[in-house]
Structure 1
Amino acid sequence: MDGSFTSLLNDGSCEEFEFSQPPPQTQSQHQQEATKSKKGRRSKNFFIEEDMLLISAWLNTSMDPIKGNNQTHSCYWDRIWSYYNKNKEGLLSDRTANSLCNRWCTINEKVAKFIGLYNQILSKNQSGLTEQNKIDQALEHYESVMNEKFMFMRHWNALRFAPKFQAYFKKKNRSARDTDASSQSVDSQIPNLESDEMMERPIGRKAAKKLKRAADKESLELIKTMQKDALAIASSRSESVNRSLQLQLKMMQLQKEQLEMQKEIMQLQKEKLQLRLAREERERQKEERERQVYEASIMAVDTSKMLPDQAKYYEALKARIMRNIL
């Protein structure tokens, strides 16, 4: 099913509002054939789902400027009938264009009267009332005036926020400031939504096509600009990656050079250590040779011709040398 308005109506919101007068009772060939099969039988009552689909069909048909605004009534309701039957899915009832038109007139009349009463309550600008309080008052007023309950709340909710309704509401707000709201009758509050004052005339087919071409051209320019920006970003990223790689290579080269320098330093330290050890070994060997020469000279001293004390001293030195050797 077409989802442009049907899904919106299901949750009580819509973007279009209009009440049109019923067209002449004209039908296309395939509608006439469907009518012949139902001659002599009264149409079944409409289910709420059928009403919602009818509103959706009417909205979609009304809001298509490229199809053309100057459609004949027959063509207009033939398109509504086609949309309705194409999207009715599980709804069992088959409806003719006349049946849909008559049902739309009923919805038009009932909802329009309720709008008049609801706007009358809004114009009083009573303090302390919630939105639900105002709706409840309008329902009570409707039942008092019409001697029946208002059974089209879902229809009203589906249509109340449409541009035509909002334009009417603004117009009535301006007039309410200059006129005592309590003196206005119910009929004076019912909107004439066929009036040119209600809403600007929809754009024509040529204007709609021109706007579409302009939008397509703008979209194409936007796509080109986005592609150009994407290429520039990609190029910038590529340059950034290249610079990053170059920096990484330089860092790796510096690290390699640092390792080489550390190896050279370690080799120099090793050689220095070896030189120190060699020097110490030479000094130790020199000291050892000098000690040996000294001890040999002590051992060669003849103490027999020395004074007792002197001889005793050298004998003690010889004894110590002998102890170290042994």
Structure 2
Amino acid sequence: MVEDARKWTLKQYKETTNERTIKSLIHRWSVIQKATNKFCAKLAQVEGLNQSGMTEQDKFEKAKIMYQSLEKCSFQFEHCWHLLKDQPKWIWRATKDVTPRRKTMSPSLTPTSTPCSAATEDSVFDLETENVIENEVAELDRPMGRKAEKGKRKAQGKHAEENFQLRKMKYTLLEESRAQEKEFYRLKAEKMEYDKEKEEKKLRQEDERLRLEAEKVELAKKESDQRIMMMDVSVMPEMQRLYFQQLQREIMMRRSNARDLD
């Protein structure tokens, strides 16, 4: 029916853009309506000629040529015409309220010959644009039922609660992350302090070991020097006596130098 073509127009433009208003869609439908009715008038003229040997397709093509000659452009709404031509409401609107001028025309152009026989440019059916706009607005802005509104509020409340829980969880995780990071740096500082103390203790132990080792060496050297100094070289052979006398002189010289340094 006529509404099918109108709804097709609305559907096409609703699918192509979300920014078109009802008014712009109605304007678009009026353009399609006007062009389709003009084409219908040309097709009625072709059918009124009753030319023999012409098929329906031939008549259709000739009407398209006549339309292009008159309008200086091709007929662009063939798909709309195919939706409208066999619809009862289109035929009823096209054939009702025929003007007296059309009633005086030859029988070949009577309304019973074709759905387009009375659909001239002057007899274009009116869509009653204001009513269509009101109907479309009513369809688009239909009040929501109580149950649907309650369900919507419930869904919104659930969504808000979920968002709150997510934000709360995010905040908790953030706080835990900060606490873990703080604990990590605290443990890291403690480990560094422990490693430092351990290294210092190790150095102190090494120093103590070296000191004890040095004392041990010094003690052993003193004992050796003491044994050498206590030797009676007078009873020794000459070579041995000379050797130990030299050692005794070196010991005495070393001790003398040590006292001078002190």
Q: Deviations over 1:225-274 (max 9, x none)?
A: 34531441232232122123213312321331232133123213312321
Structure 1 residues 152 and 270: CA distance shift in structure 2, 3 A: same
Question: Which of residues 70, 81, 86 in structure 2 aligns to 1:150?
Answer: 70
Identify the residue that residue 124 of structure 1 maps to in structure 2.
57
Q: Is the 8 A contact 2:233 2:244 kept in 1?
A: yes
Letter in structure 2 aligned against 1:14: W
The answer for the alignment partner of 1:248 in structure 2 is: 178
The 1-side partners of 2:31 and 2:146 are apart by: 28
1:167 maps to 83
| TM-score of the aligned structures, taking structure 2 as reference length | 0.51
Amino acid at match of 2:57: K
The 1:115/1:288 distance shift into structure 2, 3 A limit, reads farther
User: Larger radius of gyration, structure 1 or 2?
Assistant: 2
Task: Tell me whether 1:188 sits opposite 2:114 in the alignment.
Answer: yes
Q: 1:304 to 1:238 in 2, by over 3 A?
A: same
Deviations 1:65-119 (A, max 9, x none): xxxxxxxxxxxxxxxxxxxxxxxxxxxxxxxxxxxxxxxxxx896443136689x
Indicate conservation of the 8 Å contact 2:39/2:63, yes or no.
no
Q: Distance in 1 between matches of 2:55 and 2:228?
A: 138
1:151/1:305 CA distance change after superposition, 3 Å: closer
> Of the two structures, which has the highest relative contact order with CA contacts closer than 8 Å and spacing of 6 or more?
1
Say whether the 8 Å CA contact 1:168–1:191 is kept in structure 2: no
> Which AA in structure 2 matches 1:247?
S
Unaligned runs of 5+ in 1: 19-54, 56-106, 126-133, 144-148, 173-184, 195-201
Q: Which runs of 5+ in 2 are unaligned?
A: 1-20, 47-53, 89-107, 124-130, 258-262
**Who is 2:42 aligned against?**
114
Change in 2 beyond 3 A, CA 1:244/1:313: same
Moved more, 262-271 or 211-220: 211-220
Per residue, is there more helix in 1 or in 2? Answer: 2
CA distance in 2, matches of 1:210, 1:109: 27
- Call closer, same or farther: CA 1:257–1:277 in 2, change over 3 Å: same
Residues 285/311 of structure 1: CA separation in 2 closer, same or farther (3 Å cut): same
SS in 1 for 2:184: helix
Q: How does 1:216-255 map to 2 (within 5 A)?
A: 220=149, 224=153, 225-226=155-156, 228-255=158-185
Query: 1:312 pairs with 242, 248, 253, which one?
Result: 242
Match 2:29 to one of 14, 21, 24 = 14
Relative distance call for 1:117 and 1:254 in structure 2 (3 A) is: farther
